Homo-oligomer: A and B are copies of this chain.
């Protein structure tokens, strides 16, 4: 058995350059998703590129399946036999928007090697991760026998919270029935710290509009008698946290599942201490709930963040306008057992109780995904943990992750499929930010680990 693993790993070693060329081709497709655009040509192009690649690998029944928004790439290979487990390989081929564009050192869709890193939007999140899986499947198929049945679910709207996934899965439950989903969109804590993620935060995303006067006013002619909507918005946002950084939405923390002592010990083992976050972010001091260590604040506690602010004159120079309206994008990361719909109600209640009668307000719900928490004794999770330990030589870190991967909760709830969550993106890879990159030595180690994962599954 060890031999076939080594053969696959040697195949990967030998084909490094071609794998990099393939990845670059994939990265050149600017498949951004920032809002629902059902017929986006670049989203379609990325889906078709992937379908072609799967077909080339010998995957069968490859299809680009329509959803209400971006299509899902499906395929399967079921020749391992009825006894063998079926692994659902998950991925998303869409990427985050690229602005502010002027902060990119090289253009986001011109993949560029600098040192050990490949820079491009999607390099790490997660086109590089998808290609790691596909390269490993190719290596195993070319050098031995794939020990499991395979299905593929590669979506194109993860970066906007997979708005069509539930409706899509609802009609295709049989197609995606599997024993475990392999999801390597969850990253790792550091180069030498392989990581299994067992919980993901949910997300509920709002737009808040404050409308005061029915048109922009001259700040000299009206300033003093009108509640400035930008000011009113700031006052409302300021009230959403108390002095110690706790969210003040009514009942916000009530359903939050308490951390067990074992979990707190696991969190304390994570090498993500204050110094780590200070270095990663460059902030002068950390912030947040005083009763929790940083790793807990990120993975186990819900948050409320301002994602965007817009009002009035924002170009260079001065305009003495009293803006007619002001907008904020605000989102909450949720943990077990919070429900997005409840948080929506809590925000409405907060606004009802706190918005002054000098302005009008509106809350728009843009996205909602429940949090997810996985079982650690799932065979897929065990196989993946063992694989990581074989390559890195340390027991993986088990963490609750701050980000959201809505499909994980959907697969669990709708199909009863648990996800084995890991990944080979690093905290310093600038996910969702300018100069996103993929650390190539870690990428290749990740492929080695996936070879072990597939063989561990049998």
Contacts and interface: CB of A to CB of B under 8 A. Distances in A.
Contacts of A277: 222, 225-226
A260 interface: no
Interface residues of A, number: 100
Contacts of A57: none
A357 interface: yes
A366 B286 contact: no
B286 A226 contact: yes
Given A307-B322, A319-B97, A358 B431 contact: no
Interface in A218-274: 218-228, 230-231, 233-235, 237-241, 245
Contacts of A319: 34, 96-97, 307-308, 329, 432
Given A239-B238, A288-B225, A298-B222, A307 B318 contact: yes
B219 A305 contact: yes
A122 interface: no
A223 B433 contact: no
A322 B304 CA distance: 10
Nearest to A282: B214
22 contacts: A34-B319, A161-B318, A216-B433, A221-B402, A221-B431, A222-B277, A223-B303, A223-B333, A224-B301, A227-B287, A230-B237, A230-B307, A234-B309, A237-B238, A238-B239, A283-B359, A284-B360, A286-B358, A309-B309, A318-B367, A319-B329, A320-B404
A233 B203 CA distance: 23
Contacts of A172: none
A311 to B, nearest CB: 4
Contacts of A187: 221
Interface string A318-347: 111111001111010100000000000000
A301 B433 CA distance: 44
Interface of A: 34-36, 96-97, 100, 103, 160-161, 187, 201, 203, 205, 212-228, 230-231, 233-235, 237-241, 245, 277, 280-289, 294, 297-298, 301, 303, 305-323, 326-329, 331, 333, 356-360, 366-367, 401-404, 427, 430-435
Contacts of A218: 402-403, 431-433
B222 A306 contact: no
A309 B305 contact: no
A435 to B, nearest CB: 8
Nearest to A202: B220
A18 to B, nearest CB: 31
A220 B97 CA distance: 16
Of A241, A311, A357, chain B has the most CB atoms within 10 Å of the CB of A311
Of A201, A205, A214, A320, chain B has the most CB atoms within 10 Å of the CB of A320
Contact of A221 (B205, B321, B323, B403): B403
A43 to B, nearest CB: 14
A326 B286 CA distance: 18
Nearest to A357: B285
Contacts of A234: 233-235, 237-238, 306, 309
A34 B217 contact: no
Contacts of A306: 228, 230-231, 234, 311-312, 323, 326
Contacts of A220: 201, 203, 333, 401-404
B402 A215 contact: no
A368 to B, nearest CB: 11
Given A284-B358, A307-B319, A308-B314, 13 more contacts: A35-B317, A97-B315, A100-B216, A216-B434, A219-B305, A230-B308, A234-B238, A237-B238, A306-B311, A308-B311, A308-B319, A318-B367, A320-B331
A215 B433 CA distance: 7
Contacts of A427: 221
Contacts of A241: 231, 235
A203 to B, nearest CB: 7
Contacts of A233: 234, 309
Given A224-B402, A358-B287, A434 B215 contact: yes
A281 B217 CA distance: 8
B317 A36 contact: yes
B34 A318 contact: yes
Nearest to A238: B238
Contacts of A301: 224
